[in-house]
């Protein structure tokens, strides 16, 4: 049986971990290198390092910070932000990333998904989808880019299916409306995507408690849960999340019962 993964997310801006609400009003939340080391030590199954301003600022990822993070991290590391072509993809993997998350670049160049999957393997390709509610879309959700700043007029479900066909190995699904609110994941959105694609879906945006993690797995079919604020500020721990999931019959790794 595959375990449900608990992922700690590091949203990084100017070399520091930050967190806000709906990707704005950012507050400093610490040093990503130290945090990655700590999270990998206390039971996180993976670390997700997202350079949230790289695309908006039209620059490449901070390879030096990523390399230092990878050196201290003993669990799989997913890195995203500022990825525009195969060379960026290659450089991130060479800097220590195990997977690369692509969002805006994939929207504007869908061939990048297939190119990177063919070159490096689909296990390395994470398609990040930042979705907002839009009743004019067939699924009710629209894909956004540049950290939610730009609308695309692309239906979220259609895009997820296209990503699978092009070779994405995983989907990182964020509800922009829920992000940073600590009011729970968007169950409707997560269920919509997870039941219609054959690859793992990581639920992101809105985690406020271990019960939220349990709910998005049992009710919406998420394969993994991602959180930032509740871990960074000590509201809840990786251990408490895994214990709650285990109590509810969800198989997790390294859980103290």
**Higher-confidence residue: 67 or 232?**
67
**Max intra-chain CA distance, the chain:** 46
* Average pLDDT along the chain: 87
pLDDT at residue 114 tops 90: yes
pLDDT at residue 144 tops 60: yes
pLDDT of residue 115: 96
Domains of the chain as residue ranges with CATH? 5-247 (3.20.20.70)
State the Cα–Cα distance between residues 156 and 144, nearest whole angstrom.
9
The pTM of the full predicted model, rounded to 2 decimals, is 0.90
Q: For residue 145, what are its two tokens?
A: 């880019």
Q: pLDDT band at 53, cuts 50/70/90?
A: low
Question: Which residue numbers are catalytic?
Answer: 11, 130
5, 34, 200, 210 from 251: Cα distances, Å: 9, 28, 15, 14
State the Cα–Cα distance between residues 38 and 73, nearest whole angstrom.
8
């Amino acid at each position: 049986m595959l375990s449900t993964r608990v992922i700690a997310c590091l949203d990084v801006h100017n070399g520091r971990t930050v967190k806000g609400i709906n990707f704005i009003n950012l507050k400093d939340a610490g040093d990503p290198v130290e945090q990655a080391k700590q999270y990998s030590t206390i039971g996180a199954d993976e670390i997700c390092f997202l350079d949230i301003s790289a695309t908006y600022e039209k620059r490449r990822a901070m390879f030096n910070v990523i390399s230092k993070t990878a050196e201290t991290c003993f669990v799989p590391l997913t890195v995203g932000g500022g990825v525009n072509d195969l060379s960026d993809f290659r450089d991130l993997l060479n800097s220590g990333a195990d997977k690369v998350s692509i969002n805006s670049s994939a929207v504007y160049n869908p061939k990048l998904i297939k190119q990177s999957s063919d070159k490096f393997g689909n296990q390395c390709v994470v398609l990040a989808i930042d979705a907002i509610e839009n009743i004019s879309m067939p699924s009710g959700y629209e894909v956004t880019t540049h950290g939610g700043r730009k609308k695309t007029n692309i239906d979220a479900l259609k895009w997820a299916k296209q990503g699978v066909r092009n070779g994405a190995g995983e989907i990182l699904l964020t509800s922009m409306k829920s992000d940073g609110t600590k009011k729970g994941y968007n169950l409707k959105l997560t269920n919509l995507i997870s039941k219609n694609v054959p690859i793992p879906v990581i639920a992101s945006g809105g985690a406020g408690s271990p019960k939220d993690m349990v709910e998005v797995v049992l009710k919406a079919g998420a394969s993994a849960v991602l959180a930032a604020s509740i871990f960074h500020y000590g509201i809840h721990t990786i251990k408490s999340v895994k214990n709650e999931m285990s109590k509810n019959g969800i198989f997790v790794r390294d859980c103290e019962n």
